[in-house]
Amino acid sequence: MLQNLSSGNSVRKSSVRVMLTLGLLVGTLDITGAIINFLIASGGKNPIAIFRYIASALFDTSLPYLFLAITGLIMHYCIALGWTILFFLVYPRLRFLHQSQVATGMLYGIFVWIMMTLVFLPLTRIPPLPVRPVQAAIGIGILIVAIGLPLSFFTHHYYFGKSNAYRQQV
């Protein structure tokens, strides 16, 4: 009994550590892709504007520049962690996701784009922007590469790799 409790506790600690690590990874990959895209599209303007834009979802843009930049950065990583936790918790329960890690990653990237662009952003203070096909395709591509695929591969490995704690619990 004690061994089961301690092994279950270590699985939970392992899961939390993996989710935090993956959240940081996909958050960093996503913001890197966004910065590269912003630099190309804007002709080299200051990419801190991305973080101010993120913060403007909740805060007035007349607030201090540094406050908005730091708040936007924190919000970005919290959002990335939220998508990571959702994927990590849903993945073992939906068996069809186990069939193809590439297809799963692509579908999750598309899902995140749809939810962020068409559901969550309209609920914020950010004025609605028209959906442009080229920007949408770039945004979806970034989310597939930066969030969907890494989450799919690493989560699959966590749950079904050779020496995983999950399989030992099932």
Specify if 6 maps to a domain: no
How many domains does the chain contain in total?
A: 1
Identify the residue with better confidence: 152 or 3.
152
Specify if 122 maps to a domain: yes
User: For residue range 34-88, what is the model confidence (pLDDT) as tens digits?
Assistant: 999 999 999 999 999 999 999 999 999 999 999 999 999 999 999 999 999 999 9
Which pLDDT score, from 0 to 100, does residue 129 have?
A: 82
77 φ, ψ (degrees, to nearest 5): -70, -35
* pLDDT, mean over the chain: 90
Specify if 42 maps to a domain: yes
User: For residue range 138-159, what is the model confidence (pLDDT) as tens digits?
Assistant: 999 999 999 999 999 999 999 9
Lowest average pLDDT, out of 46-50, 89-93, 114-118, 125-129, goes to 125-129
Which pLDDT score, from 0 to 100, does residue 13 have?
A: 75
Q: Which range of residues forms the domain containing residue 110?
A: 21-163
How would residue 1 be classed by pLDDT, with cut points 50, 70 and 90?
Answer: very low
Specify if 16 maps to a domain: no
Between CA 26 and CA 77 the distance in angstroms is 9
How would residue 2 be classed by pLDDT, with cut points 50, 70 and 90?
Answer: very low
* pLDDT at 12 exceeding the cut of 50: yes
* pLDDT at 162 exceeding the cut of 70: no
Specify if 127 maps to a domain: yes
3-state secondary structure of 109: helix
Which pLDDT score, from 0 to 100, does residue 145 have?
A: 98
Over range 82-111, report the average pLDDT. 97
Contacts of 97 (CB under 8 A, 6+ apart): 90, 91, 104, 152
Specify if 15 maps to a domain: no
* pLDDT at 114 exceeding the cut of 90: yes
**Dihedral, 50, 153, 23, 92 alpha carbons, nearest 10:** 130
Contact 80, 32 (CB under 8 A): no
Between CA 116 and CA 123 the distance in angstroms is 10
Q: At what angle do helices 48-55 and 2-42 cross, to 10 degrees?
A: 120
Specify if 14 maps to a domain: no
159 φ, ψ (degrees, to nearest 5): -80, -30
Between CA 157 and CA 1 the distance in angstroms is 28
Distances (CA, A) of 14 to 20, 40, 95, 166: 10, 39, 22, 10
